[in-house]
Chains A and B, each alone.
Chain A
Amino acid sequence: MAVAWIGNRETLVERAAAHAAALLGSSRCPVFSLDTDIHGTRAAIALAERVGAAYDHADGAAVSREAALFTDKGAMTVAPGEARRRADVVVVVGELPQIHHQFVGELSATVPDLSTPDLSARNQREIFLIGSNEMSAPRLSNGRIATLLSCGEASLGATLAALRAQWRGRQTSRPVSNFDDFAKALEAAHFPVFLFSGDATEGLALEMLQGLVTDLNRKSRASGLHLPASENGWGSALASTWMTGFPLRTGFARGFPEFDPWRYDVARMIAAGEADLHLRISSSIVQPQKKRNRMALIALAKTQEPVAGAAVTIAIGEAGVDHQAVVYSSRTGSLRSVDARAASELPSAATVIRLVASHVSAEAALPC
């Protein structure tokens, strides 16, 4: 099975890696986009420092919104295990990524076992959904339907603002649907938990949600459960933070890490023609991508053929399928080790990146 290509021509991995290194070495403004596990991220950041690259998640906007909640405002959050064991009221904030729907279903099928909330009336958690009817909502157990909290066509941020205002007893121009049910549930609640993600949620809505959670904590308890838009994305953000002090959208153009969520938005850098070389690392998905300009592409992907338009393609395995990996798990709210489900010969992203790095220069060995 072929695993490496220069252009459309099959070659040895070693040779493809050397060619990738040469491209990186001569690039004026290389950018990396990541969709990989923790060790793939670590290797990529070590390489980015060496070649002066900027890096971001492959779908950087959502991860960046989530990181911005922390870098700009802070938050009150709860671990997923505590949410499962303690939340007597569950509030789904906006549209959650599909990967989290099963967990919401599980919350609807179970009851808290810690503390002693009074669920005697129905023996189930109360579940609300903030948003609109058009959203794809998680399916609840027994055909239950979450109580909708909406302000007609208003944005999620505006709906949250209205909800917060009404909770504080203020007049709002457009009241939130089912507010009285919500208020009653909160009055009785021991530990309401708000499930949020940066996926379809604008940054202001995340801040507004935290404002509501802060208000609730004046007299009782409540918290937010962060369900990341991308588990790989959040895992990469964490690894980047310990390695450089900063989350994704960090660049090494001047030899040391600089965090700038606008300047180092890799999708923007590509669209604006600032980048002249794109290293795309994707161990879980291969997205065909239209080439917009003459920028060279190095693709590390789980593929059996060269990626269209790529100067170099090297096949890598999928984390947790082809090889053991460490990934972020939204079920534990931390990093988790996963065994290979179907171990194969395909190398990990980390292995290939280190191979590329070994060809970049003869300076001291990279630390990851």
Chain B
Amino acid sequence: MLTKIAGGDIIDPVNGRLGKGDLWISDDKIVAAPAAGAADRTIDAAGCIVMAGAIDIHSHIGGGNVNTARLLLPEQHAAHQARPATTPLSNAGWSTFQTGCLYAKMGFTTVVEPAMSPGAALHTHLELADIPIIDKATLAILGNDDFLLSMIRDDASSTMIEDYVAWTVASTRALGVKVINAGAAAAFKENVRTFSLDDVVPFYGVSSRKIVKTLQAAVDSLGVPHPLHVHCNNLGSPGSADTAAATIAAAEGLPLHLAHLQFYGYGTEGKRRFSSAAARLAELVNATPEVTIDIGQVMFGQTVTVSSDVMRQFSARGSAQPKKSVIHDGDGNGGGIVPYSYGKDFYGTMQWAIGLELFLLIDDPWRVFFTTDHPNGAPFTVYPALFELLMSREARTEMMAGLSPPAMALSTLAAIDREYTFEEIAIMTRAAPARLLGLTDRGHLGAGATADIAVYRRDQNIAKMLGQAAYVFKDGDLVVQDGEITHYRWGKALRLNPSPDKAMLRRLEDYHQQRYGLSLDWFDFPDTAIAREQPFGEVACRT
């Protein structure tokens, strides 16, 4: 079927296409305007902007810890209306079904779950397979697991470490690798309560820095398109900006992605010894081209923190609101679930302002990514409001009026004039994520691209405009019309598929038999276990 999206303002920075024009779709691909012939279907996009479907690189949408968070907080996600018949379970609060629908309505068509525990890969993929419409991907967590830490301690060759990383990525169907507070979860099991970049994991004698550098090198040399995704040490603590700065410096010319930088944007100035270090970090990011970051913006209200940084979550238990939490010592990282409410007090204001400062002070929209670290800084449903804050100085000023003056006094936010343009938004939420993840088929509107397209009706109210797309196409299928889901379709989980080394497989088989009393097949699964047609889509490694 040939579709013409007619007369919209096209915003496609990758192909340098900006301005009024038509966009053509043939089946599931974007195509050049045909020389002759008429469209089978024409979508009137006059008064609309047309962008590629948005890509979220870091949002906790499924897997063991996310599901535990749901289980812990039944009071916080009641559904309030009967379902529409065409989209079953879509009003079930905080369900996989609702997740897919809410993302699609905003024009997001690909979302990365950034913290998959390798041991829970099957569980994670089953949840992702129940998220309708959008494509998904996962990052596999390494860096607190005994197998890797033992190899580093024993000076294993880089080839052997790469074989292990490749096996993990392949068997868990991941698109990349994440390290979360490298070594800290292992140290926490040894009763260590704080952990920094140059601290050493007891029993292994390996530093956090060494783990990060080892994984960074392995990911790079395997040709995994996405750089090592790092959740630094000391998340959330005053002075954590020093840790982030040291980690940025540790990139040393190889690509490195730092997750939710806002949570490390904290200095120790002022009488509360908690201040904004955003300007300092932004300057470092600007000066370090091999580093990319996402923000993890805080917005006010009730949420729940879901993290595989078990040491940090354990120490945050006291601030749980409501007063309950789960702390899990897993095979590698485990994790912690601590409900939390961000108030407009000094600390909440400071965090909110730091996130925005980072967004606005980092110059290159290709290297700063749009996230709230859902649900840690705020649920992803705040995205429309956050777009508005980035695109309108006036919206920021209005918001600041109701916040803590002592906090605002320690932030540069009020002095920043910058307003993101639609072109910059298209880079930050489409073009750059596709490039960062190695997804050449999306993030742009060139001929041959997957027809993931979001059409927004222009409105003075940016939040309204970007919150409810006029039309969304996924793989050429019109799935959203006037902000409402028309029907379900089932996306794929995008994955790499490096072939595992035979010797490594034998080693791992022995290891699992000996250490767990179980054969390796207890930890692996066939694609058919997902019980959907084509649950995975393969992405190529760099060669």
Q: Which A residues are within 8 Å of any B CB, using their own CB?
A: 38-39, 42, 45-46, 49-50, 67, 70-79, 81-82, 84-86, 106, 110, 113-116, 190-191, 217, 220-221, 223, 237-239, 241-247, 254-259, 324, 326, 329, 331-337, 350, 363-364, 366-368
Knowing A81-B119, A334-B122, A334-B123, the reply to whether A49 touches B83 (Cβ < 8 A) is yes
A324 to B525 CA separation, bound complex (whole angstroms)? 11
Contacts of B531 in A (CB 8 A): 39, 326, 350
The residue from B93, B119, B127, B330 contacting A242, defined by CB atoms under 8 A apart: B127
Chain B min CB distance to A143 (Å): 21
B157 within 8 A of A: no
A242 touching B62 in the complex, CB below 8 Å, given contacts A74-B72, A221-B189, A367-B97: yes
Q: Which residues from chain B contact A116 at a C-beta distance below 8 Å?
A: 203
Cα distance, A312 to B191, chains bound together (Å): 57
Docked CA distance A116–B202 (Å): 10
Q: Are B523 and A332 in contact (CB under 8 A)?
A: yes
Query: Would you call B74 an interface residue if the criterion is a C-beta within 8 Å of the partner chain's C-beta atoms?
Result: yes
11 residue pairs of the A-B complex, CB under 8 angstroms, read A45-B89, A75-B327, A78-B330, A79-B334, A114-B146, A221-B191, A242-B96, A324-B528, A329-B522, A335-B122, A335-B123
Chain A residues within an 8 Å CB radius of B529: 324, 326, 337
Q: Mark B84-128, 1 if CB is under 8 A from A, else 0.
A: 011111011111110000000000000000000001101100110
Complex interface: chain A residues within 8 A of B74 (CB): 71, 245-247, 259
Residues of B within 8 A of A72 (CB): 324
> Which residue of B is nearest A363, CB measured?
B85
Complex: chain A residue closest to B329, CB-CB: A78
Give the contacting residue for A257; candidates B92, B516, B524; CB below 8 A.
B92
Q: Which residues on B sit within 8 Å (CB–CB) of A337? A: 122, 524-526, 529
Extra contacts, 7 of them, besides A242-B62, A326-B126 (Cβ < 8 A), are A72-B324, A84-B517, A255-B83, A256-B92, A326-B525, A334-B120, A350-B531
Contact of B435 with A by CB under 8 A: no
Chain B residue nearest to A45 in the complex (CB): B89
CB distance from B62 to the nearest CB of A (A): 7
Residues of B within 8 A of A70 (CB): 68, 71-72, 326
A79 cross-chain contacts in B, Cβ below 8 A:
119, 328-331, 334
Given A42-B130, A78-B329, A113-B515 in contact, is the A244-B89 Cβ separation under 8 Å? Answer: yes
Are A331 and B522 within 8 A (Cβ)?
A: yes
In the complex formed, the residue of B with least CB distance to A193 is B329
> Are A364 and B85 in contact, with the CB atoms below 8 A?
yes
Given A246-B74, A332-B119, the answer on whether A367 and B132 have CB atoms closer than 8 Å is yes
User: What are the residues of chain A within 8 A of B122 when measuring CB–CB?
Assistant: 326, 334-337
Which parts of B381-427 form the interface with A (CB within 8 Å)?
none
B182-207: which residues lie under 8 A (CB-CB) from chain A?
188-191, 202-203
> Complex: how many Å from CA A89 to CA B87?
50
The CA of A223 and the CA of B64, in the complex, are separated in Å by: 18
B81:A77 contact, CB within 8 angstroms: no
**How distant is B376 from chain A, measured CB to nearest CB, in Å?**
17
Q: Which chain B positions have C-beta within 8 A of A332? A: 119, 518, 522-523
Query: B67 near A242 (CB under 8 angstroms)?
Result: yes
Q: Tell me if B487 is interfacial: C-beta within 8 Å of chain A.
A: yes
Q: Please indicate the chain A residues that have their CB under 8 angstroms from the CB of B330 in the complex.
A: 78-79, 82
B287 within 8 A of A: no
What is the bound-complex CA distance between A38 and B320, given in angstroms?
A: 32
**In the assembled complex, B82 has its CB within 8 A of some CB on chain A:** yes
Q: Are A242 and B328 in contact (CB under 8 A)?
A: no
Instruction: Give B131's nearest chain A residue, CB to CB.
Output: A242
Minimal beta-carbon separation of B95 from chain A (angstroms): 5
8 closest pairs, A vs B, by CB?
Answer: A255-B82, A337-B525, A74-B324, A337-B529, A256-B79, A78-B329, A335-B123, A244-B92
Q: Which of B62, B126, B337 has the most CB of A within 10 A?
A: B126
In the assembled complex, the CB of B174 is this many whole angstroms from the nearest CB of chain A, namely: 16
| Contact status B130-A242, CB under 8 Å | yes
Residue of A nearest to B527 (CB): A337
Chain A's nearest CB lies how many Å from the CB of B190?
A: 6
* Shortest distance between the CB of B81 and any CB in chain A (Å): 6
Q: How far is the CA of A325 from the CA of B78 in the complex (A)?
A: 31
Question: Chain A: interface secondary structure?
Answer: mixed
B70 within 8 A of A: yes
B488 at the A/B interface (Cβ < 8 Å)?
yes
Which chain B positions have C-beta within 8 A of A84? 515-517
Q: A214 CB to closest chain B CB, in angstroms?
A: 9
Distance in angstroms from B492 CB to nearest chain A CB is 16
Instruction: Write the nearest CB–CB distance from A329 to chain B, whole angstroms.
Output: 7
User: Known interface pairs A46-B88, A363-B86. Does A245 touch B191 (Cβ–Cβ under 8 Å)?
Assistant: no
Contacts of A217 in B (CB 8 A): 314
Provide the bound-state CA to CA distance between A49 and B85, in Å: 10
| Chain A nearest CB, measured from B28 CB (Å) | 20
Contacting residues, chain A, for B337 (C-beta < 8 A): 74
B97 touches A243 (CB 8 A): yes
User: Looking at the complex, which one of B67, B73, B488, B525 makes contact with A238 (CB distance below 8 Å)?
Assistant: B67
User: Which of B126, B324, B328, B523 makes the CB contact (< 8 A) with A38?
Assistant: B126
Residues of B within 8 A of A67 (CB): 71
The one of B64, B70, B202, B203 that contacts A245, using a Cβ cutoff of 8 Å: B70
Residues in A with CB closer than 8 Å to B516 are: 81, 84-85
Q: A50-B88, A332-B119, A335-B123 are in contact. Are A245 and B130 (CB under 8 A)?
A: no
Residue numbers in A under 8 Å from B77 (CB-CB): 245
CA distance A61 to B146 in the complex (A): 37
One of B72, B96, B202 near A243 (C-beta < 8 A): B96
Please give me the residue from chain B that is nearest to A76 by CB atom.
B327
Q: How far is the CA of A221 from the CA of B192 in the complex (A)?
A: 9
Whether A245 contacts B331 by the Cβ 8 Å rule is no
Q: Let me know if B522 and A49 touch, CB within 8 A.
A: no
Within the complex, which residue of B71, B91, B97, B487 is in contact with A247, where a contact is CB–CB below 8 Å?
Answer: B71
Q: B240 an interface residue at 8 Å Cβ cutoff?
A: no
- Neighbouring A residues of B202 by C-beta, 8 Å: 115
Interface residue ranges of B146-204 to A (CB < 8 Å) = 146, 188-191, 202-203
Nearest residue (CB) in B for A326 is B529
Given A70-B71, A364-B85, A334 and B119 contact (CB-CB distance below 8 Å): yes
The interface bits of chain B over 258-272 (1 if a CB of A lies within 8 angstroms of the residue's CB, else 0) are 000000000000000
Which residues does chain B contribute within 8 Å of A243, judged by CB atoms? 89, 92, 95-97, 130
Q: What residues of chain B lie closer than 8 Å to A335, measured between beta carbons? A: 120, 122-123, 126
CB pair A75–B89 under 8 Å, yes or no, is no
State the CA gap A266–B122 with chains docked (Å). 30
C-alpha spacing A257/B82, complex, angstroms: 9
B527 nearest CB across to chain A (Å)? 10
Bound-state Cα–Cα, A220 to B515, Å: 24
Please give, as numbers and ranges, the residues of chain A lying within 8 Å of B86 by CB-CB distance. 363-364
| Least CB separation from B100: chain A residue | A367
Asked whether any CB of chain A lies closer than 8 Å to the CB of B502, the reply is: no
Q: Are B191 and A114 in contact (CB under 8 A)?
A: no
Distance of A236 from chain B, by nearest CB (Å): 13
Assembled-state Cα–Cα distance A247/B68 (Å): 10
Closest chain A CB from B130 CB (angstroms): 6
Of A255, A337, A364, the most chain B CB neighbours within 10 A belong to A337
Closest chain-A Cβ to B76's Cβ sits at a distance in Å of 9
Residues in B whose Cβ lies below 8 Å from that of A220? 191
Q: Does B325 reach chain A (CB closer than 8 Å)?
A: yes
Q: Which of B521-543 contact A (CB under 8 A)?
A: 522-526, 528-529, 531
Q: Shortest distance in angstroms between A352's beta carbon and chain B's nearest beta carbon?
A: 14
Residue on A nearest B490 in the bound complex, by CB: A367
Interface membership of B80, Cβ < 8 A: yes
- Contact between B80 and A364, CB atoms less than 8 A apart: no
Most buried by B among A46, A75, A259, A335: A335
User: Could you say which residues of chain B place their CB within 8 Å of the CB of A38?
Assistant: 126
Shortest Cβ distance from residue A310 to the other chain B in the assembled complex, whole angstroms: 27
